[in-house]
Amino acid sequence: MSPDILTEQLSLFLDVLETGSFSAAARRHPLTPSAVARRIDSLESAVGSRLFSRSTHAVRPTPAGKAFAERARRIIEELRLARAEAVSLSNAPEGLIRIDAPAAFGRRHLAPAIADFLVAYPGLDVQLRLIDSFVDLHGSHLGEVDLVLRAGPLADTRLVATPLAYMVRIACASPAYLASRGVPACPSELPDHDGLDWDGLAPPFAWRFNVDGQARLYRPARMRMAANNAETLLFGALAGLGVAHLPTWLISDYLLRGELLPLFCQNGLPEPETSGIYALRLEHETNSRSRLLLEFLKSRFSPVPPWDLALRSELRWQ
């Protein structure tokens, strides 16, 4: 089995483990639920043990499945590191990589990753421009830059997109606000609360929650603050102005420190959105420098983004 096929097979197994559903795992891959079930059957045959117990309501890991999951995660990481090391040893890359990226994500996650990348590859240089312009993040400057990072749905099919990380969005509020106004037990109670919202073009999954298997829109009736910048909404939530619905890559540190409390997360993290964080490039073949950076970022941010991994392992849901 090739390393790429093995990585895909193990990633699919981990997605089924995380979601507890063949259907939910299939949505993360270009597969049908029946195809996911067949691949899991094949993996169980290769391993020689049942990894899941299946019922009409859920797919749950067996003790063997739980043990196998830990090794699967290590195998995926080792394969990624081995591939990156092989690329780095095959030649000594040199030159400049030009990147546009969203300002908030760039400051929190991309800049530290690029710093580590440049330490590993002393012959390479990076020109990183952090921008808030929605137009620029569609890739308008491609040709002037090598890569554009984009968080959210992709509209321009002329561009080639490399997935870097999935996105999870959580409703949250400060402890002071919830102590004053009460904790909403379910999304349908949000209209009774104050909120913070986007001014103008909102993310397509904002204020949408999975209720009885369907995506439903629930939002606070009164918006104490509206802004076109996610960090501004974060600061409003920290100040106790109301409930915000923000991505975990932005709020994970505040959740872990207890400065914000998660809502509607009794069963853990919500399902990832169907959009995510991507690196965009033009259709023509990307240069070896950019390919090297893309592999580095993929190993850094997937299969489970580090901010979500920290939440899953450390956060005690309220």
58-77: per-residue pLDDT in tens?
889 999 999 899 888 888 88
CB 148 within 8 A of CB 100: yes
**pLDDT score, position 140:** 57
**Tens digits of residue pLDDT in 108-129:** 999 999 999 999 999 999 999 9
* Whole-prediction pTM: 0.69
CB 162 within 8 A of CB 298: yes
**Tens digits of residue pLDDT in 155-192:** 655 678 889 999 999 999 999 999 999 999 999 999 99
Please identify which residue in the block is written with the tokens 């990832």.
272
Extract the tokens encoding 162.
């490399």
Q: Is the pLDDT of residue 29 over 90?
A: no
CB 316 within 8 A of CB 197: no
Rounded to whole angstroms, the maximal C-alpha distance in the chain is 60
Q: Is the pLDDT of residue 135 over 50?
A: no
CB 218 within 8 A of CB 224: no
CB 51 within 8 A of CB 64: yes
